[in-house]
Amino acid sequence: MISTEIIINLINSFKKNDRQEIDNVIKSLIETAEKRKQYKLAKKLRETYALTSENHFLPSSHTPSKFSNSHEQDSKLFEIRRSKIRIGDIILSDTNKETLQEIINNYKKRDLLRKHGLSNDSRLILHGPPGTGKTLFAYVIAGELGVPIYHVYLDSLISSYLGETGRNLKEIFREASTNDCILLLDEFDAIAKHRDDSQELGELKRVVTVLLQNIDDLSPDTILIAATNHDHLLDSAVWRRFDYALKMDVLSTPLRKSLIQMNLNKNNIDVSILAELSEGLSGAIIKQIINKSLRKSLLDKNASALEKILIENFLIETAGKNDKLKGGQRKNFIKAIKYLRKSDQSKYTFEKLEKITGISSSTIHNIINK
């Protein structure tokens, strides 16, 4: 095998001759290195001589990366992003936080682990309801490690490239394998569904096989993170390719309280009633409600009313579900109604509360006076 130094010297010599020939030779060298899983060599070759985008090999500094296809030229398959999000910016259960720190620590010390014949376990699948922080989890890892994140939108990939999805997947994995990065496969179920599903097209079933092969061949210097809201749809063979499988669920009351405090910054508000009222809501919805309330308080120049605005907006969010609320949730709902009425009877009339909650004014009257 030709040494790295000789190959690099050969490339520098070629620079003095025909450009087309140079591109062809280097492209061949890179492809050979990648086929042999010599990812560090391929990466060094790219850095030494950045091939033009006309050959579909873009340097890692290009963002977003694109690959051409017969249906739609220069369509975006993924975006290369940088993250400044850190561990202190996310609220997690103790178990998930411990796993997060373990992945980060393993990656930082991967050379030491390999020296002793150990892997750094860099493949993670995140599953759970929408808005529970799956994508944010990936960006925290990127922020802590200071590596770029290759964010792939798989649903768009399937709809736009049916018939060529497998080839494009190979390109994405090959690009990621030549860089220290995080490869984020969002909406993972779009390409990893059960192969025994009779309703799926044969092409998509073949894509699962291509996906599994590329996961097996992925460089250990690339962290692979897959995220899905529909884990029940995934092919059974997919799960075996991952070192970690984390369920991201709605937060417990203490964690919701921490999330609300974090997003309210220095506003002096008792968040206990908000934490209770937000039971069952995802972290994403909770943050949306807080931001909406902060905007209204600021634009109305009424900082003192922020707590009431927050409670009102949380009630509006849960209003359509009031007939389904049980036990503690219903108790918190009623508690919030009483709080608003007591805080300002002239503003929060029975008619106003009816509009907020969807409960008739006569029922609210009975609740208040019960």
Contacts of residue 31, Cβ cutoff 8 Å, sequence gap at least 6 = none
Q: Which amino acid is at 122?
A: S
Are residue 311 and residue 239 in the same domain, yes or no? no
| pLDDT higher at 125 or 359 | 125
- Ranges of beta strands (E only) in the chain are 65-67, 75-81, 123-127, 149-153, 181-186, 222-228, 244-247
Minimum mean pLDDT among 21-30, 48-57, 181-190, 215-224: which range? 48-57
DSSP annotation string for 55-92: GT---TTSSSEEE--SSSTTEEEEEEE-----GGG---
CB distance 244 to 204 below 8 Å: no
Are residue 106 and residue 44 in the same domain, yes or no? no
The predicted pLDDT at position 331 comes to: 82
At residue 43 the predicted structure's pLDDT band, cuts being 50, 70 and 90, is low
pLDDT for residue 84 is more than 60: yes
CA distance 313 to 317: 6
CB distance 7 to 1 below 8 Å: no
Mean pLDDT across the chain: 82
The predicted pLDDT at position 171 comes to: 87
End-to-end CA distance of the chain: 86
Helix (H, G, I), strand (E, B) or coil at 123: strand
Of 104, 55, 60, 101, give the one whose Cα is nearest residue 79. Answer: 60
- Of 190, 217, 247, the one marking the end of a domain is 247
CB distance 358 to 319 below 8 Å: yes
The predicted pLDDT at position 62 comes to: 36
Mean pLDDT of all residues in 262-276: 86
| pLDDT higher at 12 or 124 | 124
pLDDT for residue 9 is more than 80: no
CB distance 147 to 183 below 8 Å: no
The predicted pLDDT at position 162 comes to: 55
Range of the domain at 31: 4-57
β-bridge mates for residue 151, sequence order: 79, 184
Are residue 242 and residue 226 in the same domain, yes or no? yes
Rounded to 5°, angle at Cα 351 from 348 and 355: 90
Minimum mean pLDDT among 12-21, 63-72, 247-256, 304-313: which range? 63-72
The predicted pLDDT at position 55 comes to: 36
At residue 155 the predicted structure's pLDDT band, cuts being 50, 70 and 90, is low
Are residue 262 and residue 233 in the same domain, yes or no? no
pLDDT for residue 72 is more than 50: no
Are residue 93 and residue 237 in the same domain, yes or no? yes
At residue 247 the predicted structure's pLDDT band, cuts being 50, 70 and 90, is very high
The predicted pLDDT at position 130 comes to: 94
Rounded to two decimals, what is the model's pTM?
A: 0.76
The predicted pLDDT at position 71 comes to: 37
Of 123, 131, 134, give the one whose Cα is nearest residue 96. Answer: 134
128: left (phi over 0), alpha (psi -120 to 50) or beta: left
Are residue 83 and residue 218 in the same domain, yes or no? yes
The predicted pLDDT at position 157 comes to: 73
CA distance 90 to 140: 8
pLDDT for residue 18 is more than 60: no
Minimum mean pLDDT among 76-80, 86-90, 229-233, 355-359: which range? 76-80
- Of 227, 247, 267, the one marking the end of a domain is 247
Mean pLDDT of all residues in 7-15: 63
The predicted pLDDT at position 52 comes to: 37
Six-digit token string for 56? 């579909």
pLDDT for residue 135 is more than 90: yes
Rounded to 5°, angle at Cα 360 from 356 and 364: 80
Are residue 262 and residue 203 in the same domain, yes or no? no
Six-digit token string for 225? 């993170």
- Of 193, 217, 247, the one marking the end of a domain is 247
Are residue 242 and residue 294 in the same domain, yes or no? no
79: left (phi over 0), alpha (psi -120 to 50) or beta: beta
Structurally, how many domains does the chain consist of? 3
Are residue 32 and residue 148 in the same domain, yes or no? no
Minimum mean pLDDT among 180-189, 238-247, 353-362: which range? 353-362
pLDDT for residue 89 is more than 60: yes
